[in-house]
Amino acid sequence: MSEIKSPTTRIETSAAKVYEAVRAAQQAGETVGLVPTMGALHQGHLSLVDASLAECDRTVVSIFVNPTQFAPGEDLENYPRPLDRDLELLMQRGCWLVFAPPVEEVFREGHETSVHVGSVALPWEGESRPDHFGGVATVVLKLFQIVPADRAYFGQKDYQQSLVIRQMVADLNVPVEIRVCPIVRESDGLAMSSRNAYLSPEERRQASGLWQALKLAETLVAEGETSVAAITEKMKPVLQHVEVEYIAVLREGTVCEVETITEAAVVAIAARVGKTRLIDNLKIQSRKK
């Protein structure tokens, strides 16, 4: 990897110019990492940027609130867009290029093509938000075309999304290496999320129940409990102040539920706290390896 880091951050809204810059860097022998985001950056996003900075010569961050992954009635209009602050953070970090296009640059008039990912996109988040993963997969594939990066960085926070992206990349022969980075949390364990800004102080306290429930599951498994039914029963009282959409215990790397934890599993939760929908998950190692 080259030692030379760009002293300035380039900000681009043009897809063609970004493509040209990325290809030029690669032709000069540099590796390029892409961190796709919707902005309103927090330490979770910045941990992905740091992973890319550590592994790649050049780091591109995209900031694009993708309308096609929001259902009618979701928070597309209200989604936070503190662009100047985001740019400042990325400049401080030493990010090479920020792609922050207007919607029309990504979805030109007459756009009609979309990516449909199969069974991995159907349950859990897919059930609650039926068109969500189609919108995510389509925009991520488009970003991979605009930024033909060597590696792309995603968060474990969106566990099912990372599986959807891996599936798409494998199925459509996209020449990019996918990296999935650990969840960054607040001091009380709440997973960082741009949507945490919606929470009132009371809701913010209630939201920490998600982490407490996940930790409880981990403790129970560490103590030898293997029954998923018993574990989820014990998690419910911890989640009494939030409206649980699902608690799922999945075989790691899949969206398939398990009944007993005999191998590595992911416990995933989706819940509403007031009007805000939160998701979180935790990898759990079975004692029987």
Q: Is 281 in the site for ligand AMP (CB under 6 A)?
A: no
Residues 173-232 that bind ligand AMP (CB under 6 A): 181, 183-184, 191-194
Among the listed residues 134, 135, 155, 209, the single contact to ligand AMP using CB under 6 A: 155
- Applying CB under 6 A, the span of 137-145, 150-158, 199-207, 281-289 interacting with ligand AMP comes to 150-158
Q: How far is the CB of 190 from ligand AMP (least distance, A)?
A: 9
When asked if residue 277 is in the footprint of ligand AMP (CB under 6 A), the reply is no
Q: For ligand AMP, which is the closer residue by CB, 57 or 125?
A: 125
CA atoms within 13 A on the CB side of 276: 19
Cβ closest to ligand AMP, residue 9 vs residue 194: 194
List of residues 6+ apart from 226 with CB closer than 8 A: 260, 261, 262, 286, 288
Instruction: Single out the residue of 230, 182, 232, 237 nearest to residue 209, CA to CA.
Output: 237
Specify whether 45 is catalytic: yes
The active-site residue out of 45, 111, 132, 241 is 45
Nearer to ligand AMP, 12 or 125 (CB): 125
What are the CA-CA distances from residue 246 to residues 3, 57, 130 (Å)? 46, 40, 15
**Positive or negative: CA dihedral 202, 206, 207, 211:** positive
Binding mask 79-108 for ligand AMP (x = CB under 6 A): ------------------------------
Phi, psi of 72, rounded to the nearest 5 degrees: -55, 135
Nearer to ligand AMP (CB atom), residue 32 or residue 220: 32
Q: Does 157 bind ligand AMP (CB under 6 A)?
A: yes
CA distances from 195 to 151, 159, 190, 198, 278 (A): 26, 17, 12, 6, 8
Q: C-beta of 87: minimal distance to ligand AMP in Å? A: 15
Contacts 24+ apart (CB under 8 A), 50-55: 50/93, 51/153, 51/179, 51/181, 52/151, 52/153, 53/93, 53/94, 53/95, 55/1, 55/31, 55/151, 55/179
CB of 103: closest distance to ligand AMP in angstroms? 15
Residue from 22, 48, 95, 279 touching ligand AMP (CB under 6 A): that is 48
Contact residues toward ligand AMP (CB under 6 A) are 37-38, 44-45, 47-48, 154-155, 157-158, 181, 183-184, 191-194
Catalytic residues: 45
